[in-house]
């Protein structure tokens, strides 16, 4: 006892000497990729017993795709535990997705051993963090020049204007202020599509019937770089990292941003292959912006129907999310937002059997957002919720004008005199620093709530009854305490991996099956190979009862091996 205590103390002392303190990132600002990688390395150094940092492959531009795995080897093998996957910045410009994943990671590691719920999660599940999916786009956004909507996609070259050259005419920072802003032009009254807001000339308003306009919008700052008469018509990419995946894919003529075939870009292929060898993942959270939405698939109505037991688990988590994230709405992607094919969460669901959410972080400042009843639908991704006038006033009062770059004249070689200005790149899609931390915290809490919903199995009840001289009936009831089924319906629908497998050692199994009604002892026998009982899972927050008719032995050693629910064992004495 004493010797052990000394050894422990010595061990702690050693730890204190060699292990650096965990990083303490500031969550009131966003960090560029180098800083993020520094944090990841810091966590790996501070928690070597829990953390593995590895690269899953290279991006289109040859950067590493980092994955940090949290796993406690002392509590079992990783492939025998359930798992969750948390990623961010699938779109390069949606940068705070990375901070939100990082905040979740920070919470898990720093609260391990302090908060029982976190300790329990880390001890029973594997957590994969991929905080920078579109690592190239995110780097380009920080490096600039950039705008709030630039560098969303991957850098796989695409001949957008089909002139035989790729990426030859993207936007330019004409006035050298580091921002890819907007261009507008004053034209003769009657030629315009807009007019100035009489109260605030920074704002253009569309025309009402009977009005004449004297302004036109010319799009993103830039020139006709290739002399074809078009401006910014073939910029970097464009392949959208959330249209590249291998489930419910559609080609480019159906939706822009699609690759030539699924998982063609290096990023998607590397991540998908890593996932494919980890079918224990049953929950995926992907952080995007913007619009304050908790989205689930399907992305298109043409998707194969999603089984009801999976929808039930989605609903349990999503509705809880609406309470934990004020202003967020739990929505179905194709129906309530827009149609998309081949997104990462549909891929995770359709090919991995993992329930996936996309959280669209942030939205118009909450004090400007009109109250929308929870659960109501109708998109707010297209600027719904706050008027330009309200946003501008908020910019003036609460950021002292930081967010909006005033219009300035510029002699454009193709258009003549134009004005360049608009919202700064780190606005609208992301909160101000003094709001970021709360946003990160609430989303991390919701993510961990979902991660805690990966299946948790136990043997609730076991019984052996003598049936004959040397034959016994063994009945075992398994309980899943969490929302996600051990075999989600989609696993069976799409034939993704084997069902749960129940076996007995130490006895000869003569027959086996499932008790479908425990009170009336209604049984379904497995016709062949009773010693390998294949079970279509234990439902979310539910039970499954198995029976075996066996011969001989003093005890039966039971193993229930669930790909997504982990492995549980029990010994049943035969007496």
Partner 1 sequence: MEATLPIQRTLTAFVASGAALFVTAQDPYRNRAEVQAALEGLAKSHPSKASLERIGASTEGRPLWVLRLGSPKAPRAIFVAANLEGHAHASTAATLHLAEALLASKDALENTSWLLAPLLNPDAHDAKWEKPRGLRAAGRPLDKDLDGLVGEDGPDDLDGDGLLSAMRFPDPKGAWLPDPADARVMLPADPAKGRHGSHQMVPEGKDDDRDGQYNEDSATGLRPERGFPRGFPVGDREAGPWPGGAPETKAVMDFLLAHREIALAVVLGPANTLLEPPKGSGAPALTDSSRVRPTGFLPRMLGLDPTQDYSVAELWEMARSQATVLGFTRDDLLQQLQPGEAAAPAAEDASHWEKLTESYRKTLEAKGQDPKRAAQAPAAGSLWPWLYYHYGVQTVALDVWGPPKAKTGHDLWAFAEVQAKEAVRPWKPLTLPDGRKVEVGGLDPFLGLAPPAAVLKPALEATTDTLLAWERQLARVALVEAQVLPLGGDLWRITATARNDGAWPTHGRQEARTRNGLPVRLELTPGKGCTPQGMNRAALTERLEGGASFQGTWVVRGEKGAEATLTLRTGHAGGATRVIRLGQER
Toward partner 1, which CB reaches closer, 311 or 339? 339
Q: How far apart are CA 287 and CA 333, in angstroms?
A: 14
**Contact call for residue 381 and partner 1 (CB under 8 A):** yes
CB of 245 to partner 1, least distance (A): 8
Q: Which of 350, 431, 489, 537 binds partner 1 (CB under 8 A)?
A: 350
- 């005033």: which residue's tokens? 406
Residue from 73, 79, 50 nearest 567 by CA? 79
**Contact call for residue 384 and partner 1 (CB under 8 A):** yes
Residue pair 364/386 in contact (Cβ under 8 Å)? The answer is yes
**Contact call for residue 369 and partner 1 (CB under 8 A):** no
**Contact call for residue 272 and partner 1 (CB under 8 A):** yes
Q: Is 230 exposed, middle or buried (0-12, 13-18, 19+ CB in 10 A)?
A: middle
Q: How far apart are CA 571 and CA 557, in angstroms?
A: 5
**Contact call for residue 463 and partner 1 (CB under 8 A):** no
Centre a 10 Å sphere on the Cβ of residue 523 and count the other Cβ atoms it contains: 17
- Fill in the per-residue mask, 105 to 144: x = in contact with partner 1 (CB under 8 A), - = not in contact: ----------------------------------------
- Fill in the per-residue mask, 207 to 226: x = in contact with partner 1 (CB under 8 A), - = not in contact: ---------xx-x----x--
Q: Which two tokens stand for residue 241?
A: 């990292």
Toward partner 1, which CB reaches closer, 101 or 355? 355
**Contact call for residue 528 and partner 1 (CB under 8 A):** yes
Q: How far apart are CA 102 and CA 85, in angstroms?
A: 13
**Contact call for residue 250 and partner 1 (CB under 8 A):** yes
Q: How far apart are CA 263 and CA 269, in angstroms?
A: 5
Toward partner 1, which CB reaches closer, 261 or 434? 261
176: left (phi over 0), alpha (psi -120 to 50) or beta: left
The stretch among 91-99, 261-269, 312-320, 512-520 that binds partner 1 (CB under 8 A) is: 261-269
The stretch among 1-9, 63-71, 171-179, 346-354 that binds partner 1 (CB under 8 A) is: 346-354
191: left (phi over 0), alpha (psi -120 to 50) or beta: alpha
- Rounded to the nearest 5 degrees, what angle is found at the Cα of 92, between the Cα atoms of 88 and 95? 55
The stretch among 281-289, 317-325, 455-463, 492-500 that binds partner 1 (CB under 8 A) is: 492-500
- Fill in the per-residue mask, 54 to 83: x = in contact with partner 1 (CB under 8 A), - = not in contact: ------------------------------
CB of 102 to partner 1, least distance (A): 29
Q: Which of 62, 164, 209, 210 binds partner 1 (CB under 8 A)?
A: 164
Partners of 411 in beta bridges = 417
Q: Which of 246, 353, 363, 422 binds partner 1 (CB under 8 A)?
A: 246
**Contact call for residue 341 and partner 1 (CB under 8 A):** yes
Residue pair 114/174 in contact (Cβ under 8 Å)? The answer is no
**Contact call for residue 375 and partner 1 (CB under 8 A):** no
DSSP secondary structure string for all residues of 477-510: EEEE-SSS-SS-HHHHHTT-S--EEEEEESSEEE
Phi, psi at 64, each rounded to 5°:
-70, 145
**Contact call for residue 371 and partner 1 (CB under 8 A):** no
**Contact call for residue 227 and partner 1 (CB under 8 A):** yes
Crossing angle of helices 33-46 and 96-111, rounded to 10°? 10
CB of 15 to partner 1, least distance (A): 41
| C-alpha 390 chain-centroid distance | 31
**Contact call for residue 493 and partner 1 (CB under 8 A):** yes
Residue pair 220/148 in contact (Cβ under 8 Å)? The answer is no
Whole-angstrom Cα Rg for the chain: 28
Toward partner 1, which CB reaches closer, 251 or 375? 251
Q: Which two tokens stand for residue 466?
A: 């003598």
**Contact call for residue 347 and partner 1 (CB under 8 A):** yes
Q: Which of 262, 365, 431, 537 binds partner 1 (CB under 8 A)?
A: 262
What number of chain residues touch partner 1 (CB under 8 A)?
Answer: 65
Residue numbers at the binding site for partner 1 (CB under 8 A): 159, 162-164, 193, 206, 216-217, 219, 224, 227-230, 245-247, 249-256, 260-264, 272, 276, 300-302, 304, 334-339, 341, 347, 350-351, 378-382, 384, 414, 493-495, 497-499, 501, 527-529, 532, 534
């Amino acid at each position: 006892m004493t010797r052990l205590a000394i050894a422990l103390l010595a061990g702690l002392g050693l730890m204190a000497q060699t292990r650096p303190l965990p990083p303490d990132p500031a969550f009131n600002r966003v960090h560029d990729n180098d800083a993020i990688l520094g944090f990841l390395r810091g966590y790996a150094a501070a928690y070597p017993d829990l953390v593995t940092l590895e690269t899953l492959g290279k991006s289109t531009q040859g950067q590493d795709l980092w994955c940090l795995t949290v796993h406690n080897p002392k509590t079992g093998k990783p492939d025998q535990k359930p798992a969750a996957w948390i990623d961010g910045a699938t779109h390069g410009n949606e940068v705070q997705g990375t901070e939100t994943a990082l905040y979740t990671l920070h919470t898990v590691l720093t609260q391990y051993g302090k908060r029982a719920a976190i300790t329990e999660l880390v001890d029973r599940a594997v957590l994969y963090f991929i905080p920078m999916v579109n690592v190239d786009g995110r780097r380009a956004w920080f490096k600039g020049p950039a705008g709030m909507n630039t560098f969303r996609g991957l850098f796989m070259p695409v001949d957008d204007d089909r002139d035989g050259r790729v990426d030859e005419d993207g936007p330019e920072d004409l006035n050298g202020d580091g921002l890819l802003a907007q261009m507008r032009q004053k034209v003769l009254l009657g030629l315009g599509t807009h007019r100035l807001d009489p109260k605030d000339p920074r704002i253009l308003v569309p025309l009402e019937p009977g009005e004449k306009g004297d302004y036109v919008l010319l799009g993103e700052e830039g020139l006709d770089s290739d002399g074809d008469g078009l401006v910014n018509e073939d910029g970097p990419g464009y392949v959208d990292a959330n249209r590249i995946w291998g489930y419910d894919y559609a080609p480019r003529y159906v939706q822009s941003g699609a690759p030539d075939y699924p998982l063609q870009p290096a990023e998607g292929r590397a991540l998908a292959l890593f996932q494919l060898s980890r079918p224990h993942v049953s929950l995926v959270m992907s952080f995007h912006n913007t619009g304050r939405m908790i989205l689930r698939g399907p992305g298109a109505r043409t998707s194969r129907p999603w089984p009801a037991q999976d929808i039930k688990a989605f609903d349990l988590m999503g509705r809880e999310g609406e309470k934990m994230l004020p202003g967020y709405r739990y929505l179905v992607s194709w129906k309530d937002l827009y149609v998309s094919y081949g997104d990462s969460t549909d891929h995770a669901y359709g090919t991995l059997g993992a329930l996936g959410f996309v959280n669209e972080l942030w939205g118009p400042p909450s004090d400007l957002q009109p109250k929308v009843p929870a659960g109501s639908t109708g998109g707010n991704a297209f600027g719904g919720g706050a008027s330009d006038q309200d946003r501008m006033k908020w910019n003036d009062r609460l950021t002292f004008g930081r967010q909006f770059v005033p219009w300035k004249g510029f002699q454009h070689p193709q258009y003549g005199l134009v004005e360049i200005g608009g919202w700064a790149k780190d606005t609208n899609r992301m909160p101000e620093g003094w709001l970021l931390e709360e946003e990160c915290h609430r989303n991390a809490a919701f993510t961990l709530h979902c991660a805690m919903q990966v299946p948790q199995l136990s043997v609730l009840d076991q019984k052996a009854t003598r049936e004959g001289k040397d034959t016994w009936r063994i009945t075992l009831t398994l309980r899943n305490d969490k929302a996600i089924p051990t075999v989600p319906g989609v696993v069976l629908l799409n034939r993704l991996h084997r069902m749960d497998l129940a076996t007995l050692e130490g006895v000869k199994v003569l027959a086996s099956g499932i008790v479908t009604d425990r009170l009336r002892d209604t049984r379904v026998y497995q016709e062949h190979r009773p010693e390998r009982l294949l079970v279509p899972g234990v439902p979310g927050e539910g039970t499954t009862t198995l029976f075996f008719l066996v011969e001989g032995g003093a005890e039966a050693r039971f193993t229930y091996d669930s790909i997504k629910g982990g492995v549980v064992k029990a010994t049943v004495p035969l007496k």
